[in-house]
Structure 1
C-alpha cells in the first residue's frame, strides 16, 4: 500500500539551482562541457554558472555578420557545425568595430562606442568608451568631417580644398572607414575595475587613439610617425605595436591609468619578400606574421598561393623574420575582417599546428556562403570549407573567445 505523502517533506523548499547551486556540482558539469558552444550556453544562464569555469581550453567561436536593424546575432561553433544564436539588444543600430579579449566593440551613427560581452547572460555587461570627438574626426578621415544637428556629415573636396560635391550624412556602414576602424583592448574590463587601455586604429591616419577604459572621458591622439597609415595594431611583449603596410613598427607601452603611453621604439621590419595579404599576432611572446606566397601565371591569367607564417623576437638587437613550419600543440585563429588574431594551446576540437582563417585570403567577397580556410602550417597547403550563408553579402567578422575571464 502506498505511503501517504509526508507533509514535512512537502513543506521543504526545493533547492534554487539557478542562483545558489553547489559549487562542486557546477565545476563537475563545467569540466564535462565539450565545446565553446556548450560553454557559452552554460555560462549565459546566470552569475554563478558564469563563474564556474575556467574554460580556457575551449575554442573560439566565429562571429557572424548581423543586421543592425535586428538584435539577433550568430556565433558559429566550427567543430560542431552549429550556430549559437543570441538576442543582444545592444546590437541594434550599431556596427562592430573590433573583437578583443572576449568583448565586441560597437559603434553607432554618432560615433559613440560600447564594449559588450555577448556571453555573460542576463547581465550582458557593457562598458561605454568615449565617443569620437571633432579631433578624432579631423584626424581619421582624408575628407573634411563635421557634426551637424547631431549627425556626422562629410564635406567632399577635390584634393585642393575646394568643395567637390554636396555634403552627405555618414551612414552606419561607413562609420569604420571614417572613424574607428578597429579597437583593440590590452585586457578585458571586469567588475573589479581593472585598469585597461583601449587602442583605436583610425579610418585613414598615421595617428592612433587611446583611452583608459572607465577613466578617460575623451580619446587621446598621438602620431606614430609612420610613413603610411596604420594598418595593424597588436599587443605583444607588454607593448602596443602599430604597423603600416611597409612593415615599419611604432612601439608604445602603457603606464599608470590616465597617463599617456610612452613611445619607446620605431623600427623597420620589412615583411618577408613575396608575402602578401598579411595579418599580425602575438604568440609565445613573439610577433608572428601570417600571409600568402603568390605565384602568377600570365599565360592563363590565373594565380595560386600557399600560406606561410613567420615570427620574430622584438627583444633581439636586430629582429628579423624566420619561417615557422611547426608550432607544436598550438592553433592560430586569424580574422580577415578584423585585424585581431590570436593563438591557443591544445584548443578543444580544433586541430593543432593549423591556422583557422575566418575567410579565405583570396575568396570572393560576393559569394553567398561563408567559407573557412584551414591551413596546414607544415606544408602551407589549405582546404576551404563552407560554414554558413552570408548576411547582406558581407564576410564573417572574426573570431571571439567566449568568456575566458571572470567578470
Structure 2
C-alpha cells in the first residue's frame, strides 16, 4: 500500500497543543512503561513516529489515539521530556478536527478567542430564537407557568432539529474515522459481518467497546495507574470520568422519559412531583453525579492534579463550562418549579438552560465531547484485533 508523506504534519499538529516531540529519538521507553501497550497497540512510540515522518493517514487511522487515557506515566519517564502523553492528547484533537468536514472543530481547538465567541453566539441564537419564535418577548411572565415560558412544542422540534444535525455530523465523522482505521487494520464490512464467526466477533467487540470499556471503563479503572494508592477515591480520574458520563446519560434518559410521559398524557412536562418519582429521582441523582464530576474536573485542571490536566485548551474549558452550566441551571429550575409562585428569575434560567443544552448537543462532534463518538469505535477495532490475535495464537 502506498504511503503519502505530509511534511507539514508535525507543524500542523503543534497548533492543537503544547506537545513538541522533536526531541523524541524513538527509544521506546514510553511504550515499555505504558500499562495499555501490547502487540497491537505499541503506543505512544508508534504514533509519535507517524507524526515525525509525516504519515498522516496512519496517524488518523490509529486506534491507539483513542485507547490512551493520558495517565502520564510515559511523560514522567521520558528521558528527553518530549511529553508523549500530551502529544497523544494533541493528536486526538487533531483527529477530531480532521474527521470534521466543516472546519468548526479546527477553529474551536486552534483559535480559542474565536471559538469562545462562536459558542456565545450559538447560545444567544438559540435563546433569541426560542424567545421570539414562541411569541413571548412582550408577555407578562407572571401569567405563565414556568414550563410555558418557551412552548413545549418549540423546544421539542428545535431539539429534533439539533439531533438531526448532530446525527449527520456524527455519521460523517465516524464514517471518516472508520475508513481510516479499517484501511490501516485491513478490515472491511465483509470481514465484520460475513458469516456466523464474523458476527460473533463483531458482537463481542461491540460489547467490549461500549459495555465493558466505554461505560464500565474497565481498562481505565484497572490498568491506568495514574491514581496512586494515596490518591483519595473521590478525586480519581476514572471515578470523575464515570460520574460525568453516567450523569450525562442519566439526565438524557430522564429528559426523554419525561417527554415520553407527557406524550402519553401520564404527566405534563414540568408538573411538580415528589422527589422519589422515577424520572425526577433519576434526573436528580444523575444531575448530582454530573455536577460533582465536572466540578472536580474543573478544580483538577485549575490545580493541575494530574498529567492530563497539566495542559488545558480553550475547547477543554468550553466543554466543562457548558456541562456545568447545563447541570447548575437544571437544579435552579427544579428549585423554581417548587416555589409557590415561580420566581421571575426562573423563566430566564429556564431559557438559559434550554439554550445551553441545545448548544452542548449541537457542538458535540466538534469539541472534546466527540470522544464519546470516536473512542467506542476505536475500542471496537481494538477488540476485533485482539480476538484475531487470540484465534491465530
* TM-score of the aligned structures, taking structure 2 as reference length: 0.26
Q: Which has the higher strand share?
A: 1
Higher RCO, 1 vs 2 (CA within 8 Å, ≥6 residues apart): 2
* TM-score of the aligned structures, taking structure 1 as reference length: 0.25
Q: Which has the higher helix share?
A: 2
